[in-house]
Amino acid sequence: MEPSNLNERETIMSRLIIDFRFVEIEHELWALAEYNRTLESHLPTLKTQEQQRLQQRIRDQQLDESDTSIEYQEHYHLIEDVLPRFFRSPVLVTLWAIYESAVTEIADYIKKQRKLALGVRDITGKNTFDRLQKYFDHYLGFPLVTTDQARERLQMLLALRNALAHANGRKDAVGREQWHKIEQWRKAHAGIITTHDNLMFTAEFVDETLALVGDSLRDLIERTRQTY
């Protein structure tokens, strides 16, 4: 049956139109989540392979009990500390890169729509997240984040990203004040681990951060689409 009036036709057509604005951001979030799942699923295989290599090395070199004990200690450190650390840390670094570039893209879009003079780069702040939040909340009058939980996780993500990207997550390279802040978060979030003075994360913490940051970014995209 044909629509009976113009308003009905417009309503039907609007439902058929797909808004492709910022779709690349959603693709990046999806790809990173898939990448993380692939890494996590591969960890058990790597651990098994390293276990087999260790046993073969012990047999080939005919190591005594003392040397075998040392080999097992190093093996444990490799599979329980080093592998998870270097698998999970890059995911958080990339997540912040996606978030920052996406929010900057959305800010530029709103700026053009409203024909405003100042951009994100014209705003100063204590850090990147503070600058982004000031631009949205105070200059645009359009909230960047709508939940305290997401705001806290984004502030945490930026600090962790900086510790990883600039200091490889090592306590002696991070700086006393920043490490103290990380230790406070560690006490509040079981998923943050500081072992051997290195920064590590559980799989659950990475998954939770991906979900919280992704949901916050999707919320911003949806509000932007509806408003502009």
Q: Which tens digit of pLDDT belongs to each residue from 107-157?
A: 999 999 999 999 999 999 999 999 999 999 999 999 999 999 999 999 999
Q: Can you give the pLDDT at residue 190?
A: 84
Q: Tell me the mean pLDDT in the region 21-39.
A: 97
Residue 98 burial class via C-beta count within 10 angstroms: exposed 0-12, middle 13-18, buried 19 and up: middle
Residue 161 burial class via C-beta count within 10 angstroms: exposed 0-12, middle 13-18, buried 19 and up: buried
Rounded CA gap, 150 and 147, in Å? 5
Phi, psi of 201 (to 5 degrees): -145, 150
Rounded CA gap, 56 and 217, in Å? 48
Q: Can you give the pLDDT at residue 9?
A: 56
Rounded CA gap, 29 and 219, in Å? 13
Are 197 and 170 in contact by the 8 Å Cβ rule? The answer is yes
Does 160 have pLDDT greater than 90? yes
pLDDT, tens digit, for every residue of 77-105? 899 899 999 999 999 999 999 999 999 99
Q: Tell me the mean pLDDT in the region 45-53.
A: 90
Residue with tokens 């998923």: 191
pTM, to two decimals: 0.87
Cα Rg of the chain (Å, integer): 24
Side chain identity, residue 215: D
Does 175 have pLDDT greater than 70? yes
Report which of 144, 141, 134, 177 is spatially closest to residue 159, judged by C-alpha positions.
Answer: 177
